[in-house]
Structures are given as structure tokens and as C-alpha cells.
Amino acid sequence: MKHIHQPLSIFRRRIVTLLVLLPALAILPFTAQAQDKSDAVHTVRIGYQKSSTLITILKTRGTLEKKLAPLGVKVSWHEFASGLPLLEALNVGAVDVSADVADTVPVFALAAGAQLTYIAQESPSPSAQAILVKPDSPIKTVADLKGKRIGFAKAAGAHYLLLAALDQADLSLKDVQPAYLAPADGRAAFEKGAIDAWVIWDPFLSAAQRQSHARIVTDGRNLADYQRYYLASTPFAKAHPEVVRLIVDELKTTGKWVKQAPADAAALLSPVWGLDAATIEQANARRSYNVRAVVPQHLSEQQKIADAFLTEGLLPKKVNATAVPLF
């Protein structure tokens, strides 16, 4: 009997163990599926500026929400005053994708060690930024800026335009009084006469011209190409290429629409920006809105920008601006 009871006891223990394990074994495939889903992106966080025309149109129309819904992806929107804080947010993981920023901004982010991927670029729009003075200002040329107080946003395209313009006039940033001001603050300082000149981009440029009759001393032609870049954090671009690809495709489509239907685009943006349609049409006419893939030969000016900022002591180290990952 002893020999019979012992195997039976062992058998019973195995049955009990199997009964306990069966529910756990049954849910293993579902647990694995749940883990796979937890790795998927549920919300793409997009950072943008007021001057991010194409993204603003997509946001207003709800286009990305509709296009990304079949992928189970939602969209959250995060507005920034200028490009530098936007890319800082991208670097620390506060946003996943950045709407267009001026070609200068990634240079500063790269100097800070940011992991960024260029996902698209707008072809040059050099006349979409300029150095402005009041209509009755005695300043007629860039050389007249010597000793003057000039407002501009740090690391913006306007920053490099000023450097390039001063260099052409045999001046440097040390020959003027720089005032780092976000667009809204710059406009207020310009109107009050707290600055002698303001370096700014559209649509703020067109608004100052039309509303305050501001005069252009020089724009970016033959000085700064002003190519605007769309970026994503490198980890996000690698993990979710299908989301990035869809966003870029919609940017391309929207850019073509703005050029083909300028009045319709201005009418759509007018209540969003709080500007009259004529001002918006003028601003949009200066931007290429030609969204294209970034290729190495498009990055030559990036290195010029990086070297110019390094020479002025504005970057902590030399940056290889052409070594950025491309989508």
C-alpha cells in the first residue's frame, strides 16, 4: 500500500499544480499582447509656434487627428513663444515632434547634446525675415546700426540674419546693443521706442509693416537662406516612423494648398492668428512652404550658421551641423 499511496500523492500534487497554473498559462498570450500595446504610441505631442503656418492649419482643421485615429493615435498640441524653448522641450521629452523652426535653432540644440532627427525642411524663404526700423528712423543702412539697441529672439533665424548683415557691413554683435526678446515683447519694445531696430520674421514682419508702417533696412536675400526645419526626437522617430511619415505627408499637402489657394489659407488663419487676411497673404507670399525631405546637400548653410555662432562666442563648442540624423 505504501508503494501505491506515494505515487498517487505525487500525482495529486501535480494535478493541483497544473490546475493552479492553467489560468495563468491561458492569459499569457493576452499579457504579451498587452505589453506590445503598452509599447505603442497613444498620443503624439506636437510643439509649434505662432509662425508655424502649416501645423496651425492642420491643427485648425483637425487633419492629423482624423488621419492618425486609424492607428489608435491621438494628438496633443503645445504652443511655444519661439523655436529655442520648443527644441529644449523636444530634447527633454516634453514633446515628440516639433513644427518648423528656423535653421539656426537646431544648432543651439545640438550644442546642448540634444538627440534630434530632421524629418523635413522648407526650401529657402530669405525675404520672410528682415531688420525693421520705424518709418522716421535715421537708420538707412546696416552700417547705421552701430551702437544701436536691436531686439531679436535668441537662436532664431533673425539672430543669424543680424550676424550675417553686420558681418557684411564689417561689424559684429559687439558693435551693437543686443536685446533678446520673444516676438510679442519685441513688438512692444519696437512700438515704444525701447529698441532702435527689430529683427523679426513673418507673420510678425508683415504685421509690423502694415500696422506700424515699419521700414525694412534689409531682409535675408543674399545673407541668410532661412530654411525652416521640422524635427522629432530621435527615439520617437525610430520607434514610430509611421506616425512621422504621415505627419510629413500632410505637411507637404498643406504647403501646396497654401500656395494654390492663398486667399482661402489667409481666411482660415485670420481668426486663429488675430491678423487681417491681407497681412497673412503678404506673409505667406514670402514663405516657400515647399516641404521636402532633408538631404546632406541641403545642410551646407547649417554649418555656416554653427560656425558664425561659435565665432561670436554664442556656442559652447564646435558643432557638426551636418551629422544630424535624417528621416
Q: Model confidence over 166-215: pLDDT tens digits? A: 999 999 999 999 999 999 999 999 999 999 999 999 999 999 999 999 99
- pLDDT at position 323: 82
Q: Model confidence over 299-309: pLDDT tens digits? A: 888 999 999 99
Q: b/e map of 35-67 (b: 16 or more CB within 10 Å)?
A: eeeeeebeebbbbbbbbbbbbbbbbeeebbeeb
Angle at 150 between CA 298 and CA 229, to 5 degrees: 20
Residue 56's pLDDT band (boundaries 50, 70, 90)? very high
CATH 3.40.190.10 fits 43-125+227-311, yes or no: yes
What's this model's pTM, rounded to 2 decimal places? 0.81
Q: What are φ and ψ of residue 137, in 5° steps?
A: -65, 140
What single string gives the DSSP state of each residue in 151-219?
EE-TTSHHHHHHHHHHHHTT--GGGSEEEE--HHHHHHHHHHTSSSEEEEETTHHHHHHHHH--EEEEE
35 pLDDT higher than 80: no
**Average pLDDT of the segment spanning 115-141:** 96
78 pLDDT higher than 50: yes
Nearest-angstrom CA–CA distance, 154 and 147: 19
Parts of the chain belonging to CATH 3.40.190.10:
43-125+227-311, 127-219
Least confident of 27-41, 85-99, 230-244: 27-41
127-219, which class in CATH? alpha beta
